[in-house]
Each structure stands twice: as C-alpha cells, then as structure tokens.
Amino acid sequence: SVNQSGKFQGNQCKISKRGTRIGRRALYSAALASIRCTRNGTPINGVLLEYYKVNLQGKKAKVALVAIMHKLINYIFAVLRNQTPFELRNPKIHKQMFLENISQNNVA
C-alpha cells in the first residue's frame, strides 16, 4: 500500500521508528502478552485475540501485531482522557451501549 502525506510519498508499511525504543518495546511485549493463551487454552484477552486473528487473514503476523499495539495505545489514552478504570467489553456489546447512549441523548 502507498502512504502519502503532503509531498511525502511512502511505499513501505513499516512501524515507525519515531518515539522511544523503550516505549515501542513495552507496547510490543504488552501486545504479545495480550494475544497469548493460558496453558488450559483460555485467552488472556479474548477481544484482542479475536481482533488479531481477523487481522491475520489479510495481513502478515507482525503487521497484525502492530495493529494490536495501536489498539492498546488507544485504550491507554482513553483511560487517561476519561479518568475511568479500564473495562474490557466485547465490541458488539460496546456498539450496542453506544447506540443506546446516542438514542437517549437524541430523545432528551
């Protein structure tokens, strides 16, 4: 795929080397840990494991893992922004809650 921004034309899909190495390594380790399964076969984070498996159908393994890293960083920033504890939700349930919240706001 081609990545373009202004006059820049990139033609490679690689993880950017911007930011700290330590931060990238920590995110990489957290992403690996979150898609792992326990010894009895239950996933540590079922939502991220399902997302990873869906991404593997069309992407290479490391590209799918970087997508997990991106999702983790989005979770971290959302927790910091909202000042609320993290709540692991299935995407279908989360979408349903979002739609109910919108409908309540439109009625009021």
In a domain, 7, yes or no: no
**Distance from C-alpha of 53 to C-alpha of 35, rounded to nearest angstrom:** 9
Residue 59 lies in a domain: yes
- State yes or no: pLDDT of 75 exceeds 60: yes
The predicted structure's pLDDT at residue 11: 60
Q: Which residues contact 73 (CB under 8 A, 6 or more apart)?
A: 27
pTM of the model: 0.73
Residue 37's domain comprises 19-103
What's the number of domains the chain is made of? 1
Question: Is 68 a member of any domain?
Answer: yes
75 SS3 class: helix
